[in-house]
Structure 1
Amino acid sequence: MADVFGDDDDVQLIPATCDSDWTLASDFLLETVERCRRQKIPLWTHEQVCVAALKQNYHSHSLHLLRYRDIWIGCVFISFDSDVFWPDIDTNSSVFFHKLAISDAYHGQGLGEKALAALGNLAKHSQRRWLRCDCHGARPRLRAFYQAFGFDLVDRKPRLGFDVARYQMRIESAHTGN
């Protein structure tokens, strides 16, 4: 599997390699927290997106920075095959993503869709059948964003103390066409 997906006109997923990458990711997430707070949209707390909390909750290889035209624009956490929010179904052959964040400077410019396309390409090239995510159930705009991109709502119910909406999208195989 390649380390970088996409070309200069696509959003690229770049695996984190050093501590400064975690700081940059935390900064992107803090921007997102503040943007949502101003709009009274439920999201994480500052404490949940500080570097120490991120490192405690995610494996070092899961952090990916998002680059577009040689500019860092955001971050996402990626995991394969298992996820704490999906304990009740067989999640083999899945790619999960969490905390997808686009910087305020680039928010609303279509880069979220390009990031989702890059995640779909990662899943396809990794020979996974599903791209899965979850979000706060009380975020209708985010939920509509995922559905407009092609994700299907699996369910919405309390999980781990949160109102969680789970989404999945079937990925066509890069080798078999299905």
Structure 2
Amino acid sequence: MLLVFGLWMTTAQAQLAPGSRAPDFKAPAAMAGKPFEFDLQAALDQGPVVVYFYPKAFTSGCTIEAQLFAQAMDDFKAVNTTVVGVSGDDIDTLKKFSEGPCGGKFPVAADPDGKIIKAYDAGFAIIPGMADRISYAVAPDGTILQTYESMSPDQHVTRTLAAVRDWHAQQPSAKTK
């Protein structure tokens, strides 16, 4: 349950389950203020990807979450993992957000029409068109390794990083080293 606008609301939803296929997407994105097109498949070709959804750039929880991901980017890079944040914000807002709270360390993608949010069952039930705070760790083959949903931003980094590290530890190449 979550207190929103003075009302207790449930945030339960039908998230994509571990083992299911992550929907592919391309979206306008920004990193360090520079716009480009984020391509999930191209990122997966390089290794695991964390796709995290957040409600709105520059709000307190979303700013905290972006800062936590930015602080952990060296840890994600150490396990060859790309991180991308996705929200319903427009690209101009995300150019600024990518420079500010994201520290220029990872991209944020714009989904103003909500197609990616819908494909990932990441919609915020009580505010249509807005993303819930939900994170997916995705293996290079497109399989979802882990799903974590919580309006609190403080465990998304820890949980997704642990899922990617666990995945790496189970790979045959890791066992022969």
**Superposition TM-score, scaled by structure 1 size:** 0.34
In terms of fraction of residues, the more strand-rich structure is: 1
Larger RCO, structure (CA 8 Å, separation 6 or more): 2
**Superposition TM-score, scaled by structure 2 size:** 0.34
